[in-house]
Chains A and B, each alone.
Chain A
Amino acid sequence: MENTTENLNKLEADESLLGKTQGSASQGLKQIWAVGGGKGGVGKTLVTANFAITLAKAGARVVLVDLDLGGANLHTCLGVEASDKTLTDVFSPNIKSLQELALPTIVPNLSLISGAQDAMNVANLPHAQKQKLLNKLRQLPADYILLDLGAGTSFNTLDFFLAADVGILTVLPEPTSIENAYRFIKSAFYRKLKNIEYLYDARSLIDSTMNRKNELKIKSPADLIRNLETLYPEVGMKIRNSLNDFEMKLVVNQTRTEIDSEVGFGVRNVCKKYFGFNIDYLGCLEYDSAVWQSVRRKRPLILEFPASPLVPTIQKMVGHIVSEQAEKIKRSQLGL
Chain B
Amino acid sequence: MSQEKKQNYYEILDISLSANAEIIRTSYIRAKNAYNRDSLAAYSLFDPEESKQILEEIEEAYTVLSDSEKRRKYDESHGLLSSDSSYEDYTARDALRAHVAAVMQAPTNQITEHDEMAEAPVSYPAPAPSRPDPSAIDRLQAAQSSLNASVPLKGNYSLTKSHVVDEAMEEKIRNTEPVTGVFLKSIREYRQVRPEEIMDSLKISKNYLAALESDDFSKLPATVFVRGFVIQYTKALKLDHEKLTASYMQFLKSKRP
Q: Is the CB of B205 within 8 A of A257?
A: yes
Interface size on B, residues (CB 8 A): 63
Q: How far, in angstroms, from A258 to B225 measured CA to CA in the complex?
A: 9
Q: Is the CB of A283 within 8 A of B107?
A: yes
**Complex contacts, B40 vs chain A, CB 8 Å:** 173-175, 178, 263, 266
With both chains docked as a complex, state the minimum distance between the C-beta of B122 and any C-beta of chain A, in angstroms.
Answer: 6
Q: Is the CB of A227 within 8 A of B109?
A: no
Q: Is the CB of B33 within 8 A of A262?
A: yes
Contact with B along A222-252 (1 / 0, CB 8 A): 0100110110000000000000000000000
Q: A229-B4, A312-B150 are in contact. Are A336 and B96 (CB under 8 A)?
A: yes
Q: Is A281 interfacial (CB-CB < 8 Å)?
A: yes
Q: Is the CB of B148 within 8 A of A269?
A: no
Name the interface residues of B86-145: CB closer than 8 Å to any CB of A.
Answer: 93, 96, 100, 103-104, 107-110, 118, 122, 124-125, 128, 130-133, 136-137, 139-140, 142-144
Q: Is the CB of A230 within 8 A of B4?
A: yes
Q: Is the CB of B146 within 8 A of A58?
A: yes
Q: Is the CB of A286 within 8 A of B41?
A: no
Q: How far, in angstroms, from A264 to B203 measured CA to CA in the complex?
A: 14
Q: Is B2 interfacial (CB-CB < 8 Å)?
A: yes
Q: Is the CB of A257 within 8 A of B108?
A: no
**Complex contacts, B42 vs chain A, CB 8 Å:** 266, 270
Q: How far, in angstroms, from A29 to B136 measured CA to CA in the complex?
A: 8
Q: Is B31 interfacial (CB-CB < 8 Å)?
A: yes
Interface size on A, residues (CB 8 A): 69
Q: Is the CB of A316 within 8 A of B96?
A: no
For chains A and B in complex, what number of residue pairs have CB atoms within 8 angstroms?
Answer: 180
Q: Is the CB of B151 within 8 A of A268?
A: no
Q: A258-B204, A263-B41, A313-B108 are in contact. Are A29 and B131 (CB under 8 A)?
A: yes
With both chains docked as a complex, state the minimum distance between the C-beta of B255 and any C-beta of chain A, in angstroms.
Answer: 21
Name the interface residues of B60-107: CB closer than 8 Å to any CB of A.
Answer: 93, 96, 100, 103-104, 107
Chain A's closest residue to B104 (CB) is A280
Q: Is the CB of B14 within 8 A of A327?
A: no
Q: A28-B136, A55-B143, A281-B107 are in contact. Are A273 and B41 (CB under 8 A)?
A: no
Q: A29-B131, A270-B46 are in contact. Are A226 and B5 (CB under 8 A)?
A: yes
Q: Is A75 interfacial (CB-CB < 8 Å)?
A: no
Name which of A34-42, A118-126, A155-163, A211-219 contacts chain B: A211-219
* New A-B contacts (6) at CB < 8 Å, excluding given A29-B140, A223-B1, A283-B109: A257-B204, A257-B205, A266-B42, A267-B34, A270-B42, A284-B109
Cross-chain pairs A/B with CB under 8 angstroms, 23 sampled: A28-B132, A28-B133, A29-B136, A29-B140, A219-B1, A226-B4, A226-B5, A257-B208, A270-B42, A270-B45, A282-B107, A286-B203, A315-B151, A316-B109, A316-B151, A317-B108, A322-B140, A323-B144, A324-B100, A326-B140, A327-B124, A333-B128, A333-B130
